[in-house]
Amino acid sequence: MHLIEQIDSWSQSHPGRIAHISGDTTLTYQQLTSQSNKLAQHLLTAFPNDHSPIALLGHKQTEMLAGFLGCIKAGHPYIPLDSSLPTQRVEAIVRTADATLLTVDQLKEIIANTDVPDNFKIHAPKIGNPWYIIFTSGSTGIPKGVTITRRNLENFLEWILDEQDFKEAGEVFLNQAPFSFDLSVMDLYSSLATGGTLFSVSKDEIAEPKKLYKSLGSSGVTVWVSTPSFARLCLMDINFSEKMMPHLRKFWFCGETLAPEIASTLLERFPNAEVWNTYGPTEAAVATTSILITKEIIAKYRPLPVGRPKPGTLVEVHAEDGQPTPSGERGEIIIAGPNVSPGYVNQMEATSKAFFILDDQRAYHTGDWGHVQDDLIFFDGRMDFQIKLNGYRIEIGDIESNLHTVSNVQDAVVILAMKNERADYLAAFVILKSRPEQTDFEIMREMKKQLGERLPDYMMPRKFVFLSEFPTTPNGKVDRAKLAETLQ
């Protein structure tokens, strides 16, 4: 069955079941189908014979879900954009994808003012057509749009629905990640495909722990989907335990390293819940490997493994010559299979650099170091300047390129400061064109203001250090290690 038909089928079999809870607002499956049909009808009329992307700008509002499905039903891929993104970044994304932008307020208006005729028919994507485009940080300063086709998404879903054995119309999925990150696809579509309820926590709730715990406590969440960073934050409160969330039976992580102490504390505090680690880049549709983390696994491995490949997908660790490395030896993690994206939208060069063909399958260079041991894949860090900070994927080059557009910046280098082997904060080292009659604090404030017009908050350096020159390595490159040492 086409995924969109599967989702719509819940409005027939369970019309009153809640599809989405966001703050005080709920949306039933019947409302989801009706609202998405209205949006599709509007798009079909406004853009006949057009399949160009639609960028949807909002946060966790229920209309966003209706918007995603409305685009799909009208044959348009959608680009989820979070309202916390600065305008210039939204504009850059819309330009790169050649997309039409709709805000959540416009979605509300369309839903209120559109009638759906009796002969309404959905124009959902064929198997190889794009379903969504998710933009990630790009090293040149321009975000890269990863196209995910219906085949990619359905292939991912087939695997996890089989592996995770969710109850039909019985689960409540936590949605922590903004819809603009592919981690949210894990909860969104697992929920919609199984007639589940998506329980969103907003960024305002996350910023206020008291509100957050209250909300989690009354959520009825059965499946927790988040970055390990978010679980770490929640574990800071001793009351975050089975008593607070008695229905929780699964923690499902992706996106960054799952530290053994987080996994073991969760198993202690939630003795009836499973902890899963999954791994994969946006370019290979959310996750590609998985493993159930047991006490035995925690006792045996440091770091924890990221698991085994999903069936039908090849995950190998390659040496520089493109051949698989022997067991235990480090190399680049390569992914090949039906979940691998066709590439970055309108960015041929970046696409041909990262994607290739392996054994007749579409393949992706993850840029991740890894090794295989006991038939398990292990993640050993990045080969380049891509980092994860609080679960967010960031290209250091993206921040540096944007820093170079700030007036009075001659040169800039950004370093990720580490604490106890964990990513802590970003520091910008800047050489100014000329030294104004201002304090460092005043200069930094002005820089942050200008940079904030281009970069989201999570990419903003916390610390600025002004230098007259950078230390260099013997071959004349900026000595990043030396700069990092100054942050210890």
Residue 393 CB, nearest distance to ligand AMP (Å)? 4
Q: Which is nearer to ligand AMP, 198 or 306 (CB)?
A: 306
Q: Specify whether the CB–CB gap between 350 and 138 falls below 8 A.
A: yes
Q: Which is nearer to ligand AMP, 258 or 266 (CB)?
A: 258
Q: Which is nearer to ligand AMP, 73 or 393 (CB)?
A: 393
Token pair, residue 376, equals 């398990």
Q: Which is nearer to ligand AMP, 397 or 471 (CB)?
A: 397
Residue 57 CB, nearest distance to ligand AMP (Å)? 20
Q: Which is nearer to ligand AMP, 39 or 225 (CB)?
A: 225
Which residues make up the interface to ligand AMP (CB under 6 A)? 136, 182, 254-258, 277, 279, 281-282, 306, 366, 368, 379, 382, 388, 393
Q: How far is CA 167 from CA 20, 133, 172, 206, in A?
A: 17, 29, 10, 28
Q: Which is nearer to ligand AMP, 90 or 306 (CB)?
A: 306
Residue 7 CB, nearest distance to ligand AMP (Å)? 23
Q: Which is nearer to ligand AMP, 28 or 282 (CB)?
A: 282
Residue 421 CB, nearest distance to ligand AMP (Å)? 13
3-state secondary structure the chain: CCHHHHHHHHHHHCCCCEEEEECCEEEEHHHHHHHHHHHHHHHHHHCCCCCCCEEEEECCCHHHHHHHHHHHHCCCCEEEEECCCCHHHHHHHHHHHCCEEEEHHHHHHHHHHCCCCCCCCCCCCCCCCEEEEEEECCCCCCCEEEEEEHHHHHHHHHHHHHHHCCCCCCCEEEECCCCCCCHHHHHHHHHHHHCCEEEECCHHHHHCHHHHHHHHHCCCCCEEEECHHHHHHHHCCCCCCCCCCCCCCEEEECCCCCCHHHHHHHHHHCCCCEEEEEECCHHHCCCCEEEECCHHHHHHCCCCCCEEECCCCEEEEECCCCCECCCCCCEEEEEECCCCCCEECCCHHHHHHHEEEECCEEEEEEEEEEEEECCEEEEEEECCCEEEECCEEEEHHHHHHHHCCCCCEEEEEEEEEEECCEEEEEEEEEEECCCCCCCHHHHHHHHHHHHHCCCCHHHCCCEEEEECCCCECCCCCECHHHHHHCCC
Angle at 13 between CA 11 and CA 15, to 5 degrees: 40
Q: Which is nearer to ligand AMP, 147 or 282 (CB)?
A: 282
Q: Which is nearer to ligand AMP, 215 or 386 (CB)?
A: 386
Measured CA to CA, the distance from residue 283 to residue 335 in angstroms comes to: 10
Residue 137 CB, nearest distance to ligand AMP (Å)? 9
Residue 366 CB, nearest distance to ligand AMP (Å)? 5
Residue 332 CB, nearest distance to ligand AMP (Å)? 11
Measured CA to CA, the distance from residue 68 to residue 254 in angstroms comes to: 22
Residue 123 CB, nearest distance to ligand AMP (Å)? 29
Residue 374 CB, nearest distance to ligand AMP (Å)? 17
Q: Which is nearer to ligand AMP, 70 or 77 (CB)?
A: 77
Residue 132 CB, nearest distance to ligand AMP (Å)? 13
Q: Closest by alpha carbon to 15, among 32, 38, 39, 40?
A: 32
Q: Which is nearer to ligand AMP, 22 or 278 (CB)?
A: 278
Q: Which is nearer to ligand AMP, 330 or 388 (CB)?
A: 388
Measured CA to CA, the distance from residue 229 to residue 241 in angstroms comes to: 17
Bridge partners (DSSP) of residue 149 are 130
Residue 186 CB, nearest distance to ligand AMP (Å)? 10
Residue 315 CB, nearest distance to ligand AMP (Å)? 12
